[in-house]
Structure 1
Amino acid sequence: MNFNKTYAAGIVLLSAVIFSAYQKAALPGKSGDPVFDNLDPSVKPGDNFFLYANGGWIKRNPIPNAYSSWGIGNVVGEDIRERLRQINEGALKANAAKGTTTQKIGDFYYSGLDTISIEKEGTNPIKTQLDMIDRAQDMKGILAASANLSQYGVRSIIGARVGQDEKNSVKMMLQLGQAGLGLPNRDYYFKTDARTTRVRTDYQTNHLPTMLRLSGRDADRAAKGAESVYKIEKFLADSTRKLEDLRDPYRNYNKMTVAKLNKLTPAINWNDLFREMGYKPVDTVIVGQPEYYRAVNKALTTFSIDDWKAYLRWKTVSAYASYLNKAFEDESFRFSGKVLAGRKEQLPRIKRVTDTENQLMGELLGQLFVKEYFPQASKVRYNQMVEAMRQSYREHIAKLDWMSPATKQKALAKLNAIHPKVGYPDKWKDFSTLEIDRVSYAGNVMRARHWAYLNNINKLGKPVDHTEWGMTPQTYNASYSPSNNEITLPAAQFMIPGIKDADVDDAVAYGYAAASTIGHEITHGFDDQGRQFDAKGNLKSWWSKLDSAKFTQRAQMLVNQFNGYVVLDSLHINGKATLGENIADLGGIVLGIDAFKKTKQYKEGRKINGLTPMQRFFLGYALGWLGHTRDEALANQILTDVHSPGFLRVNGPFTDVPEFYTAFNIKKGDKMWLDPDKRVRIW
């Protein structure tokens, strides 16, 4: 397509105007020290270490209206967005050949900023899908429509994907999990506290009918359709597992033949449905939650065709609302952004488009990102840090007084087998079949989602690709895969905005990166879930019964500790649901301490800005959780997330660590004091 210089100039001007929104909060501050500048000296370290470490920054940086929280992740995110903006602007001007990475990046960006065309399109980008739903005459037609929609990112009653067989990690299997809900999880349909009730009421009486009306239904039909949608979702929610119950890998592993699955759900012919979904013929599937699919079967015979048409229409417009006209986008934000997360206003459009592009085409952007922003020296530093943490873990396992020699040997074998992916992939995904143009923003999103869907289903029956990354290099996050027994550590996760990696002292780096990220992810291989997988990534018992019992006893102490934390109103931390993350936090800290003790900086003991090396280590860890959150988002997190809020990911595990008490002279009577016999020690 020819490059429209006049319109592109308008987009570039728009980008320049919005550029000011990219200016990040100061981090670090005047001294250039990423931990000293954040301190709040008015808070005693022993009363609330999180606020002592981060309170100065929090006071200077209120949550912007467009965000539900604001902290280190957001500041890194703003830095990354600005770098991606520069990549996008360059691609926009390049007039690159069709099919090239630069053409796809530039054209996607262009289509997202072309609000004139987006407004003119209205619901046309999803008209084919809506018409297909309207044509359904029976339940076979409803299931066929659901199967088709799933290929374009519309998640309805069937939660299917291809993934590794947890008991045979070399095989890629078709797997079914619970799906179908519009609210964040089952608790939103049943909890009766005032906060959750307000969300549920808005959803039923405001959000659902508004979205259906925007899709083309008159007010009466939209209201009736909203009732149908909610009835179906609540029915399914009643047979949906709770957050903590999804963390039991054995209970959520139910392998069965397709013939048995057909008997479980006689209203569904799975052979036909899988074919409609584009899967190769299969004879066996893994079903995570059989009771959910029994409920789906009953729902198909309980609710009317018109009920299901309303439900699928809602799922379709909900999945694409953010990429349609302003009315759709505004209502989607009003509920998801304001009601659920407490945000006051939307992000500028340029940021929303960049975020969407990053989600859908992240590795295309990532190839350009790492060339500019992640030097080889950083990759070397963090690979070395991985090995330092691995060695620390070896030493900890060897010294354990509660684990038998036989189990220790197997634990060491698993630890040694963990494969680290650091910085960026050695092999990039092939996006050559993805077509991107300047005609339709929603159309580009639809094709990108379909590309991702095909990328997943085509793995069925093929060998596991251990070179593939599940995150992009510019992602501020990290992960552990139990089936691959590997950790993924993207380049962005190591970034501290405003300071070069080479200028970050080891004390801060070992707290910020080694403890809170590398050690955390390695420990996931040995948390309450990860420990149930062996060195090859198979769900298999490799612990002695006595060792397992001792581990469970220690883990229960951590459950009890976190159950006791009241976060908001009457909302407590769910110690069982957050156990894996809490174990990994504590493990990362204790491993990081001993790895740091081997460094030159620790041994020399020199203070920087009046802070000892060990104090800087703890402050570096706290820096990883710097930030604050709106109450609405915090309530949502407590109900839906297996991670504790950031302030408790600092204050919680620190109370279990002896070196913390020594470093900051914590005494009995201080608020964070925990008697030694109540301190949890697992690793």
Structure 2
Amino acid sequence: MRGWIAAALLSGACATGALAGDSVRPAIGSFGFDTAGMDRSVQPGDDFFLFASGAWERQLAIPADRAYYGVWDELDEKALRDTRAILEEDAGTPGSKPGDFYASFVDQAAADAKGVAPLHPALAAIDAAASREALAAEHGTMERMGVSAFFRFRIGPDDKAPDQYIPQLWQGGLGLPDRDYYLKDDAATAANRAAYLTYLTQLLTLSGRVSAADAPARAKAVFDFERQLAAAHWTRADTRDVDKAYNKWTPADFAAKAPGYPWVAYFRAVGAEASAALLACQPTAFAGEARLYAATPLATLKDHAALRLLDGYAPYLSQDFVAARFAYRGKALNGVPEDQPRWKRGVQTVETFMGEAVGKDYVARHFPPATKAAADTLVRNLIAAMDGRLRRLDWMAPATRAKAVAKLASFTPKIGYPDRWRDYSALFIRRDDLVGNVMRASRFEHQRQLNHLGQPIDRAEWFMTPMEINAYANPSLNEVVFPAAVLQPPFFDPHADPAINYGGIGAIIGHEISHHFDDQGRKYDKNGALVDWWTAEDVKRFKMLTDRLVAQANGYEVLPGVHVQGDLTLGENIADLAGITIAYDAYHATLAGKPAPIIDGLTGDQRFFLGFAQVWRTKIRESALRQQVKIDFHAPDHQRALTTRNIDAWYAAFGARPGQRYYLAPDQRIRIW
């Protein structure tokens, strides 16, 4: 399935929409779209999001256990229910590892009876560390347990030698979501800091390590230490620059360039002691963190490590820990009134640690071969549409354009589920040992990644489960991946109008395909190697276009004084624009020159753009929106729906005109691919 590329787009029965005479109706409305959710009192040119979904948004009450709710979340709820049914059946089957894992999670009484006791050995090991070297070794041990205490350790392809695996190290050590939460002084951020300090105090007290009288001061010492770490951290915008993040260091380089941290002890404990080189993804941050590690009292460093462990394992401990964590991460950061019911959290936990063991059954029940075949066809059509765009591109040098076409031709789309399922036979699961299950599953996954070192790249590996409502592009493997659960209505419905399918899942697929040509993905060649294959003039012309997209995003004010970060969201904004562009081409190619039918008074183009807008139908709480704008590489969904303002065909479809809020003159519309 590598290298799909079509010489011409498919049409007729391969259009991936409702066929003539098809007696099966679409899952939503008469043609796959919820027209009742529209607000026709809003002019499309004033706000296309509200025009498409304003009535839906007014009527929706965000569920009490959600920070936001929309089409993606409706699908997530369905996937959770479907997976729950599988796990509850498995829980009644003796010896079923996923079933036993799930049963261990939903047993609230057992978790409450054990309290923090399952963590006592790990906490005791931290407290017993008599030196900074010993504590660094505990950092490595914690990483094996799934908790990144001071740095984040991963195994992945070497960007400049993508046929080889290499250990990768990323900055870490913070309990707030990002450096800006420590460094900015607006009222909302200050409130988040206060909630975090309360949480740290609670964890120290609940763990029994510290008296109630001493806990506030010790929590404050850890917070002050993290605030210094935050000042050393890179911004998220800098981190997403793959050229800046590629720094190959030997173990000796870490000692020389980031002195003060016991690197040898850490690498030995984490399993990287035999590695000739590692990727130091934020080198100046490591230098700063190492200096702080050497200068901070050992007692504070131990408290910091213990708190990272307690926070990481709080979801699996007694209800007092669960409640404390939710009060901070759920209520304070995201404004969510209620925690999710225990069954949902249990499903998510099993998916995290044994996702493919459940995914095999999920696919058998909920992703029939006919749906996969229709999705395969649509993906081929989208790749062909991107090929056409690349071949017609006028701002790129011909030689570069030829390389771009070759890169696209070498794509590997992965649709629905893996060709080879993971083997969990070596993972030991006990029905009465939730924390132990999480620890063993974390160590199992860590060792699975370590086993990659020195081996050929596993190009069949998936990094999402079939039940996830998501998709991704992997530049090192030159692939796009779409799990089964996201290939369902309203994103994709084999019985829906093709315009809706192409505007919905088509734009999402186009989005992921185009990530390989966004401001960072473009830096990887057809073999997945990070290499400079564009001319200087190509880069200059591309940057002129993307700078305009940054400015456009910066102009979106989502709350008073709160704007989208154009530089942070650039890659996703490029992909949104490209995705809708190539999906529109692919849709029209399926028409084979024939006019689209009028359905419910809507033209084919109108239905296409409404399908796109419905993908981003989301309502979000203010606290969650503030967090998203600070840390998320994606713009808020309301603004993503406004991507249409750059598309000429949208103006023709809806008659947006000068004077309307989101109207752009033709020469102001941004066209990249």
Q: Distance in 1 between matches of 2:76 and 2:295?
A: 46
Hey, what does 1:674 align to over in structure 2?
664
Query: What is the 5 A alignment of 1:215-614?
Result: 215-216=207-208, 217-279=210-272, 281-496=274-489, 501-515=493-507, 517-600=508-591, 603-614=594-605
Q: Distance in 1 between matches of 2:624 and 2:551?
A: 24
Q: Rate the CA distance shift 1:551–1:228 in 2: closer, same or farther, 3 A.
A: same
Hey, what does 2:651 align to over in structure 1?
661
Q: CA deviation at 1:258?
A: 1.4
Q: Deviations over 1:308-364 (max 9, x none)?
A: 111011011100111100100001000100000010011111111111111221111
Q: Distance in 1 between matches of 2:419 and 2:260?
A: 46
Q: Deviations over 1:44-88 (max 9, x none)?
A: 212111111112222332101111101111110111111111101
Q: Rate the CA distance shift 1:273–1:29 in 2: closer, same or farther, 3 A.
A: closer
Q: Deviations over 1:421-467 (max 9, x none)?
A: 01110001111111111112222122111111111122112111000
Q: Do the aligned partners of 1:139 and 1:305 also contact (CA within 8 Å) in 2?
A: yes
Q: CA deviation at 1:603?
A: 2.7
Q: Deviations over 1:202-243 (max 9, x none)?
A: 212x11111111111211231122022112211111110111
Q: Distance in 2 between matches of 1:580 and 1:600?
A: 31
**Pick from 196, 201, 214: which aligns with 1:209?**
201
**Pick from 641, 647, 655: which aligns with 2:638?**
647
Hey, what does 2:60 align to over in structure 1?
61
Give the 3-state SS of the residue equivalent to 2:155 in structure 1. strand
Q: Do the aligned partners of 2:258 and 2:290 also contact (CA within 8 Å) in 1?
A: yes
Give the 3-state SS of the residue equivalent to 1:525 in structure 2. helix
Q: Do the aligned partners of 1:42 and 1:52 also contact (CA within 8 Å) in 2?
A: yes
Give the 3-state SS of the residue equivalent to 1:163 in structure 2. strand
Give the 3-state SS of the residue equivalent to 2:334 in structure 1. coil
Q: Rate the CA distance shift 1:605–1:30 in 2: closer, same or farther, 3 A.
A: closer
Q: Rate the CA distance shift 1:480–1:111 in 2: closer, same or farther, 3 A.
A: same
Q: Distance in 2 between matches of 1:646 and 1:209?
A: 35
Q: Distance in 1 between matches of 2:418 and 2:106?
A: 30
Between the two proteins, what is the percent identity of the paired residues? 38
Q: Distance in 2 between matches of 1:283 and 1:407?
A: 34
Give the 3-state SS of the residue equivalent to 2:635 in structure 1. coil
Hey, what does 1:115 align to over in structure 2?
108
Q: Do the aligned partners of 1:180 and 1:236 also contact (CA within 8 Å) in 2?
A: yes
RMSD over aligned CA atoms reads 1.6
Q: CA deviation at 1:280?
A: 5.3
Give the 3-state SS of the residue equivalent to 1:271 in structure 2. helix
Q: Distance in 2 between matches of 1:86 and 1:282?
A: 44
State the structure with bigger RCO (CA 8 A, min sep 6), 1 or 2.
2
Hey, what does 1:17 align to over in structure 2?
none
Q: Deviations over 1:458-513 (max 9, x none)?
A: 2112111000001111111000011111001111112116x983322211000111
Q: CA deviation at 1:567?
A: 0.9
Correspondence 1:638 to 2:629:
yes
Q: TM-score, normalised by structure 2?
A: 0.94
Hey, what does 2:15 align to over in structure 1?
none
Give the 3-state SS of the residue equivalent to 1:352 in structure 2. helix
Q: TM-score, normalised by structure 1?
A: 0.92
Worse overlay, 107-116 or 321-330? 107-116
Q: Distance in 2 between matches of 1:440 and 1:119?
A: 12
Paired letter, 2:408? L
Q: Distance in 1 between matches of 2:656 and 2:381?
A: 28
Q: CA deviation at 1:28?
A: 6.3
Query: What is the 5 A alignment of 1:25-104?
Result: 33-95=32-94, 98=95, 103-104=96-97
Q: CA deviation at 1:405?
A: 0.9
Q: CA deviation at 1:523?
A: 0.5
Q: Do the aligned partners of 1:342 and 1:632 also contact (CA within 8 Å) in 2?
A: yes
Worse overlay, 519-528 or 230-239? 230-239
Aligned length: 647
Q: Deviations over 1:570-621 (max 9, x none)?
A: 1111101101000000001110111100123983421122111111111111
Q: Distance in 2 between matches of 1:556 and 1:266?
A: 38
Worse overlay, 488-497 or 536-545? 488-497
Q: CA deviation at 1:270?
A: 2.8
Q: Rate the CA distance shift 1:131–1:547 in 2: closer, same or farther, 3 A.
A: same
Q: Rate the CA distance shift 1:141–1:271 in 2: closer, same or farther, 3 A.
A: closer
The gaps in structure 1 that reach 5 residues or longer are 1-26
